[in-house]
Amino acid sequence: MKHLIDLASWNRREHFAFFSAFEEPFFGLVATVDCTHALAEAKRLGIPFFLYYLHAALQAVNQVEAFRYRIDDGQVYCYDRIHASATIGRPDHTFAFSFIEHHDELADFLPTANAEIAAVQASKGLRLNETTSRPDVIHFSAVPWVRFTGLSHARSFSHPDSCPKISVGQTYVEGGATLMPVSINVHHGLADGYHVGLFLAAFQELLGRHIIRL
């Protein structure tokens, strides 16, 4: 479900008009999160760390209304629920796009996520289709080989796009804690640094949450 935002009364009306006129309306930043507890929990549960933090990222995204805004034909809509179009790697070092449905509970999220990952790894090509290119998603990727401090994305300026792009990098240990870089890129007509901060705070809280039972 999605709901139309009344641009006439929206407090971001001028921000939206201003940044939507840019050739590149996206801005981004890189921050670090503490994933010590999350990594330990994933190991305890016997599940891939990727799926653990992807689920946490989706939960955080859905808590921030600005991350659920999308632009369609010049209008702004707010979606009730956001899923993930994540890049999934294959053994031959190619990747493809996926559609991973968000579920509030990790136990419900894992079966559909694992099934989609298996489908990607059994396929060829990019898997560009109506499902993987849905607007009610975040574009998510993992770069576990690199402890990055900056990240940019390939973008076609002629193609309308308003989906947030979230990437995570290689974990590393510092001061006894396991840390992970996170890159967030969002359309500036829809969100500001404040909203990115809300996402990061929610993501960090979820990564450090109490023990999960499956």
Pair 199, 192: CB distance under 8 Å: no
For 181, the token pair is 């870089």
The DSSP-derived string for 180-197 is: EEEEEEEETTT--HHHHH
Task: Convert the pLDDT of each residue in 5-51 to its tens digit.
Answer: 999 999 999 999 999 999 999 999 999 999 999 999 999 999 999 99
pLDDT recorded at residue 116: 98
Helix (H) or strand (E) holding 170: none
3-state secondary structure of 166: strand
Task: Convert the pLDDT of each residue in 60-84 to its tens digit.
Answer: 999 999 999 999 999 999 999 999 9
- 211 has pLDDT over 80: no
Question: Of the candidates 169, 213, 199, which has an alpha carbon nearest to the alpha carbon of residue 56?
Answer: 199
pLDDT recorded at residue 193: 97
Q: Where does the pLDDT of residue 156 fall: very low under 50, low under 70, confident under 90, or very high at 90 and above?
A: confident
Q: Where does the pLDDT of residue 159 fall: very low under 50, low under 70, confident under 90, or very high at 90 and above?
A: confident
Amino acid letter, 163 = C
Dihedral (CA of 33, 36, 39, 41) sign: negative
pLDDT recorded at residue 209: 67
Task: Convert the pLDDT of each residue in 112-144 to its tens digit.
Answer: 999 999 999 999 999 999 999 999 999 999 999
Task: Convert the pLDDT of each residue in 89-117 to its tens digit.
Answer: 999 999 999 999 999 999 999 999 999 99
145 vs 169, 170, 171, CA distance in Å?
Answer: 7, 6, 9
Question: In residues, how long is the chain?
Answer: 214
Q: How many alpha carbons lie under 13 Å from residue 149 in its C-beta half-sphere?
A: 0
Q: Report the alpha-carbon angle 32-15-190, nearest 5.
A: 45
Question: Of the candidates 45, 48, 133, 142, which has an alpha carbon nearest to the alpha carbon of residue 97?
Answer: 133
On average, the pLDDT of the chain sits at: 95
